[in-house]
Amino acid sequence: MQSVIDQFFQHLKVERHASVHTLKNYAGDLRQFSVFVDSHYPDVSRSGDDGLRKINPNLLRSFLSELFKDHGATSVARKLSTLRSFFDFAMRQHVLDNNPAKAVRSPKIPKKLPQFLTLDEVMALLGAPKGDGSLTMRDKAILELFYASGLRLSELVALNSDQIDLANGMVRILGKGNKERMVPVGQKAIDAIKNYMEARGNLLNGKPDQKGVFLNKSGSRISARAVERLIEKYIKLTGIQKKVTPHVLRHTFATHLLNNGADMRGIQELLGHASLSTTQRYTHVELDKLMKVYDKTHPKA
């Protein structure tokens, strides 16, 4: 089975251009499945690649049942999705004739409203970086760009200098599946990025310049974890009593657009969602707002 897993990861890297985050999740899921098979179905494990043909829906249901002891429905559903993708690949490689995971029902995931910041909270966060140091200017540019564009964390840290058109206020994004999209950026964010770019050379510390827009203090491309930490730092400074991640800023971008009359299709394009159904979860936020207005203003409410 391991040789097919190795081929699957090569396919994800080279042909699907999967992100590091996606590869890490897939690797963890398949490793967990392999350990389960080794311990509970040794005959399948000992059969190598031929053992894949012995994997049936009941074996998979047993695996999911084991997972539910320590994982929630969302995590279990994702791991099943990983297995479906892996078995689909095995079919295309003519290792399997059918996908056993297709016969296993995915657990029902409770719907959660996207978390987001209010306008006052956003203004407090964007105003939190104080001073004119290179790192402070970088942090301000990152926060402004997140709110102005709704970028994913992976998209922001991968951003290269040639993807930003400051003159026209546009950013060219390479999103999931290496799909390209153009995102307009407001003047506040453009000004913050311009100020940072003028000071960016101070972070290189004599190193040759590289394509990455956002650098760390050592002059290398900033990491995703470093961006998460700087957001945590400024949230503490503002006193906002919410857990705020880059994804919450993405939700905030979309929610504020919707609340101010933006078209759902337009928001889908800006976020880079492949399906409109992914974007439509923001309508729950809007409907909640409408219900409050109704209750407050309708004479018979």
**Active-site residue identified among 16, 247, 256, 281:** 247
The reported pLDDT for the residue numbered 278 is 58
Ranges of each domain in the chain: 2-103, 119-295
**Active-site residue identified among 16, 54, 273, 281:** 273
DSSP string for the chain: -HHHHHHHHHHHHHTS---HHHHHHHHHHHHHHHHHHHHH-HHHHHTGGGGGGG--HHHHHHHHHHHTTT--HHHHHHHHHHHHHHHHHHHHTTS-SS-GGGGSPPPPPPP-PPP---HHHHHHHHT---S--HHHHHHHHHHHHHHHH---HHHHHT-BGGGEETTTTEEEEE-GGG-EEEEE--HHHHHHHHHHHHHGGGGSTTPPP-SBSSB-TTSSBPPHHHHHHHHHHHHHHHT--S---HHHHHHHHHHHHHHTT--HHHHHHHHT-SSHHHHTTHHHHHHHHHHHHHHHH-TT-
**Active-site residue identified among 138, 140, 250, 251:** 250
296 is catalytic: no
Residue pLDDT tens, the chain, 301 long = 788 999 999 998 888 888 888 899 999 999 999 999 999 988 887 777 778 889 999 999 999 999 999 888 989 999 999 999 999 999 999 999 999 999 999 988 776 667 889 999 999 999 999 999 999 999 999 999 999 998 999 999 999 999 999 999 999 988 777 788 898 899 999 999 999 999 999 999 878 877 899 999 999 999 999 999 999 999 999 999 999 999 999 889 888 888 887 777 878 888 877 665 655 666 655 555 555 655 665 565 4
152 is catalytic: yes
CB 161 within 8 A of CB 211: yes
53 is catalytic: no
69 is catalytic: no
The matching CATH number, chosen from 1.10.10.10, 3.10.20.30, 1.10.1660.10, 1.10.443.10, for 119-295 is: 1.10.443.10
250 is catalytic: yes
With tokens 């407090």, the residue in question is: 124
State pTM to two decimals: 0.63
**Active-site residue identified among 176, 181, 188, 256:** 176
**Active-site residue identified among 79, 138, 152, 200:** 152
78 is catalytic: no
Domain 2-103 = CATH 1.10.150.130:
yes
